């Protein structure tokens, strides 16, 4: 699996160990399509402890290999990041479909917030929730 090799080499280049457990988690992540939970990874990487999965997911998030998706019910999911830059998501509250929004249009608001609060803003996370076209009833659908 070339992508697995590429990610493990990248981890090692950054000083992280490519332990068998970590590689197992990464391999399980790469088999996922759409969004997934830590429990999904635990089912695929059976001999890996929960703490190791959480630590590896945090590392993969920091390296932009996966991105976090907060579903409407408050559950944290992930998806393999195919984006090379910062982005947001729109989540269907009916079917949990997740769409990627390539643009981040809140730059001015972040600068204003920093100026108003005196904070140096290091990052943000923004999700939008609604119902996708497939889940809206014909009565709700707008022409």
Residue 12 pLDDT:
93
Domain that holds residue 90: 85-143
Same domain, 96 and 75: no
For tokens 């497939």, the residue is: 134
9 and 69 in a single domain? The answer is: yes
Question: Could you tell me which residues come within 8 angstroms of residue 77 by beta carbon, excluding any fewer than 6 positions away?
Answer: 35, 36, 37, 68, 69, 70, 71, 98
Residues 100 and 75 in one domain: no
Q: Domain check: are 75 and 93 in the same one?
A: no
**Claim to verify: residue 47 and residue 93 sit in the same structural domain:** no
Contacts of 92 (CB under 8 A, 6+ apart): 98, 129, 130, 131, 132, 135
Please give the helix or strand (H or E) that residue 53 lies within, else none: helix 50-62
CATH code assigned at 8: 1.10.10.10
pLDDT in tens, the chain (143 residues): 569 999 999 999 999 999 999 999 999 999 998 889 999 999 999 899 999 999 999 999 988 889 888 888 888 999 898 755 677 888 899 998 888 877 777 778 888 899 999 999 888 778 889 999 999 876 555 55
pLDDT at 121: 86
* Cα-Cα-Cα-Cα dihedral sign, residues 126, 130, 131, 132: negative
User: What pLDDT is attached to residue 46?
Assistant: 87
């Amino acid at each position: 699996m070339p992508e697995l090799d590429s990610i493990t080499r990248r981890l090692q280049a950054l000083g992280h160990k490519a332990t068998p457990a970590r590689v197992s988690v990464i391999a399980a992540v790469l088999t996922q399509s759409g969004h997934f939970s830590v429990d999904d990874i635990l089912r695929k990487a059976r001999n890996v402890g929960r703490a190791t999965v959480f630590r590896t997911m945090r590392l993969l998030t920091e390296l932009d290999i996966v991105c976090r998706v907060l579903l409407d019910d408050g559950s944290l999911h992930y998806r393999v990041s195919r984006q090379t830059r910062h982005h947001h998501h729109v989540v269907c509250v009916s079917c949990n479909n997740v769409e990627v929004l390539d643009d981040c249009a809140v730059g001015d608001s972040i600068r204003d917030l920093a100026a108003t609060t005196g904070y140096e803003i290091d990052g943000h996370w923004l999700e939008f929730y609604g119902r996708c076209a497939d889940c809206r009833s014909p009565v709700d659908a707008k022409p």
